[in-house]
Amino acid sequence: MIDRYMTKDMKALWSEANRYRAWLRVELAAMDAQAALGEVPREAHDDLVARTTHDPLDEAFAARVAEIEEVTRHDIVAFTTALSERYGEYARFVHHGLTSTDVVDTAQNLLLDEALGLVAADVSALRDVCREQAVRYRDTPTIGRTHGIHAEPMTFGLKFLNWMATLDRDLERLAAARARVRVVMLSGSVGTYAHVSPQVEERVAASWGWQAAPVTNQTLARDRHAEVLAALAILGTTLEKIAVEIRHLQRTEVREAMEPFGKGQKGSSSMPHKKNPILTENVTGLARLLRGFLVTGLENVALWHERDISHSSAERVILPDATAAASYATRRLTGVLRDLVVFPQRMMDNLDGLGGLVFSQRVLHQLIDHGLTREDAYAIVQRASLRSWETGEGLRDLLRADPEMPLGPAELDAAFDLQWYLREIGHVYARFGL
């Protein structure tokens, strides 16, 4: 991911040096288990732990691996060679009985687990902001829209409550995907454990509180990674759904809410009056990336026989970039919603803008309750509504003047009571303990 959309946390997590530190963690965990089983000398493990703690892998080590790989054309071989150069003779016991993918896949799971933890924390923060705004605007009337057209009254807080509930589901999906990659694979070439005991894998998994992959070939099955990317892609659609709504509300013709606009900010290089929804447009674009990464992740599932590396080059891009984009977009949207500029009076103006048309369903029901057939009642209300659309006259005035209107003035006025439409909002909030 380019630096523009990479948070500091994600940049450090997916750095080359940190990737090698994850590889080393897997190698040392395997050595520890092998030492306990008497397969490698205990002093070899302890010496390497001491040396690597005192002199941890850094950017210089990563650069040396890159130099060696220029010759070997194999990153794990370059890695183990660089370990031997840096830490001495006991490094020869590193990678004992393992194959490259044992280390790469298990270490990648370590990084994914941490990355998904960061994303989940970001989503939780966004969810909390939605909760706060849902409470703040619980009773703020606004017009609900379907097909982009005024429908019926609702409250602005209900939008945030819907987003909060969706983010709860996103958190559930992220947790499930995270659990799916919390597995250790240390099964050797083609998954037969011919050169490494299954107990090594089981001991490492137990020490981390993870699971040993129950069966593998020479890779972990990539449906696990596809599930991660699916959870991130769905999160992206949630972010986009929220972003698109904010973008719509900021349109000049609507102007009910807008992104924060900082001191010194410029909306346009040519038009000084502009305040553009650039933050939420940015989120929309990143959501498209997240869905695209999923396509590649799905294509990575089908590999030749027990293994090929067609997935490897793709994963080096999509896994860091997907988690980074999700984190960045979530944090950006959190800032937008936290500091959202809201115009309640404009909401009321828009709600009243159609001269009462949005109360048509209540009138319909009043007529039905009065004894009219649904068809006759609908005809009366639609006739007046269409005239209101065409002339701008108020719906209530047109209905009062209709010779077929059987409702008295008080009954008709009751149909235009805004609070009647909002009377059950508290019931919905109560489902969330609010």
Closest C-alpha to 417, from 342, 378, 363:
363
* Burial (0-12, 13-18, 19+ Cβ within 10 Å), 29: buried
What three-state secondary structure class fits 57? coil
d(CA 95, CA 369): 80
d(CA 96, CA 34): 9
Cα–Cα separations (whole angstroms), residue 408 to 120, 156, 357, 399, 415: 56, 32, 19, 11, 11
Of residues 147, 273, 305, 427, which has the active-site annotation?
A: 147
Task: Return contacts of 386-394, CB within 8 angstroms, 24+ apart.
Answer: 388/354, 388/355, 388/356, 388/357, 389/354, 389/357, 392/355, 393/355, 394/355, 394/356
Other beta carbons within 10 Å of 9? 16
Helices within 181-222 (DSSP H only): 198-208
Catalytic annotation on 195? Answer: no
Catalytic annotation on 147? Answer: yes
d(CA 417, CA 419): 6
Of residues 74, 268, 310, 370, which has the active-site annotation?
A: 268
DSSP state of 139: T
- Catalytic site positions: 147, 268
